[in-house]
Amino acid sequence: MTIQLSPSQQQTRDALIGCLRLSPVVTLRGRSGFGKSIVLQAVHQQTGGVFFQLKDFIELLRDRHPLAIEESFEQLMMQALQAHDCVIVDDFDVLLKATYHSAYPRGAFMRVPMLLLTTYAEQTGKKLILCNDHDLSQAVGITLPKFQPQDYQAFFQHYLPDAQLDHKKIYRFAANLDGYQLKTACLELQGKSINTEEFIDYLRSRQLASNVNLQEVQAVDFSDLKGVDSVIQSLEANIILPLENDKLAQELNLKPKRGVLLAGPPGTGKTTIGRALAHRLKSKFFLIDGTFIAGSGDFYNAVHQVFEYAKQNAPSIIFIDDSDVIFESGGEFGLYRYLLTMLDGLESEGIKQVCLMMTAMNVSNLPPALVRSGRIELWLEMRLPDSEARSNILGDRLQALPPQLANADLSSLAEATEGFTGADLKRLVEDGKTLYAYDLVRQRDLRSPTDYFLEAIETVRTNKARYAEAEAIARDQGRHQTSTAAAMFNLVEMQSYITDSSIEGTEVYSE
């Protein structure tokens, strides 16, 4: 039976067969799910010989000592090489991971039988093909690439021959699907009349997943934000357009900005913009916020996992909320260096379609090298709402109240709330309702709705002043603790220098 291969898999099969003329040992590398096993089976159809899977080796091990893995493998392979011109071993990388593990008592002893086998193959002209992600001496390595648009087309033609699907558009939407995902999607949609948009909707709901549960995120739209039209317009043009309009993005080679900083005082809507982006982009949106506890043992692994998911769903956006709080202590050098690597594009092929967006209340807490030109390509500032914006915000909120409260004097309230944030305006409306309800329950004479809200404004203003004072005290204490820790660190360094005169020329610098 002929094995069906996609174009990338066919090219890899041909490359493997071609390498057999150059080297007695060839390895096949590649991410899981892209068809390494089926490529090796196709090679076996053309070269002949013997094809081994893990189950064949497990059968041999049943009657062996558990620490005789290497000897058992060498015996199985040597007998096969003596009897066949070509030996193909699938999932050899799984076996290597088991024997190269730090807890494995024999360490990297598998290198010994591998050296014997490669030497034998070279001396006898036999061929050994291994599925292996590790480099081996005396071996030529071939990498199975990720799928291209023509691979998607091959899957659709094989599993959904009657569907009129735009494989290029589907690829632009989700360029990192593997063979398992494509096959699963096609099999589940077989027998159904579907078009390209319906296929993309299926991928969005079933195959691609954000780390954000939208049911737990307050539903908000950009139209709900008042007084930040320029910020929204910039986000629409520089982030959302390249992510949503894939055809135009490809035609003009548009990409979302790599680094975006959204700065502004507390309560000006930075997190709300994140909520709006989450609902707008759905599976293309990934969040890092206060639930990722900096300094915990799992922190860096959790952050790395988010980046991996975002790369798999690219084009996508990673939204780091309150990034200045993470860096405030000055101790998150690991995350700092990791983000620099991402923004500098050292892995550009993997992350070039991932946008990193950070919010910050106090930009001075961010490492200077992180926000320098070239890393942050788009700097957006969230300002306090002006009089017109405050009037619009209050108008929207009052409109949702009962008539006896909705008829407040907007112009008076807007004038009295100079310096208030959107969060402050929300708070004063809630406080005004509470004051009105209290008088109503106590059967007091009711005042005009404007009076209740003006009283609430004074309460919010007083609380803001107290908060600012407490924040200043906490900031001073933080600086003192940081300077004390730095002094202790310098003292330890000096003591170390004095007691160990062999260390010379040590220099400490900051960027």
pLDDT along the chain (511 residues), means of 10: 89 95 92 92 95 91 87 94 96 86 83 91 94 79 93 95 92 88 92 91 77 68 86 91 85 86 90 88 84 71 86 86 80 75 64 84 85 80 91 93 92 94 93 95 93 95 88 68 48 40 34 33
Handedness of CA 361, 364, 368, 373 (dihedral sign): positive
Helix (H, G, I), strand (E, B) or coil at 206: helix
Q: Which helix H or strand E contains 143, and what residues bound it?
A: strand 140-143
Evaluate whether 7-143 and 214-381 have a shared fold. Answer: yes
Q: Assess contact for 13 and 39: CB atoms under 8 A.
A: yes
- CATH class as words, domain 214-381: alpha beta
Tell me the three-class secondary structure of 289-327, residue by residue: CCCCCCCCCCHHHHHHHHHHHHHHCCCEEEEECCHHHHH
Closest CA to 284 of 204, 401, 213, 350: 204
Select the CATH number that applies to the domain covering 7-143 from these four: 3.30.390.30, 3.40.50.300, 3.90.550.10, 3.30.360.10.
3.40.50.300
Rounded Cα–Cα distance for residues 288 and 274 (Å)? 11
Both tokens of 79, joined, read 């007998």
Which pLDDT score, from 0 to 100, does residue 509 have?
32
Chain centroid, CA 23 distance in Å: 39
Count CB atoms within 10 A of the CB of residue 116. 13
CATH number attached to the domain at 405-503: 1.10.8
Question: Per residue in 278-299, pLDDT tens?
Answer: 888 887 889 888 777 666 667 7
Q: What is the pLDDT of residues 97-146, one digit of tens each?
A: 888 777 888 888 888 999 999 999 999 999 999 998 776 777 889 999 99
pLDDT (tens digit, 9 = 90+) per residue, 425-435? 999 999 999 99
Global pTM reads 0.65
Stretch (H or E) spanning 28: strand 25-29
**Residue 499: per-residue pLDDT:** 39
> Running DSSP on this structure, what letter comes out for residue 502?
T
Cβ(51)–Cβ(91) under 8 Å?
A: no
Q: Report domain extents, the chain.
A: 7-143, 149-207, 214-381, 405-503
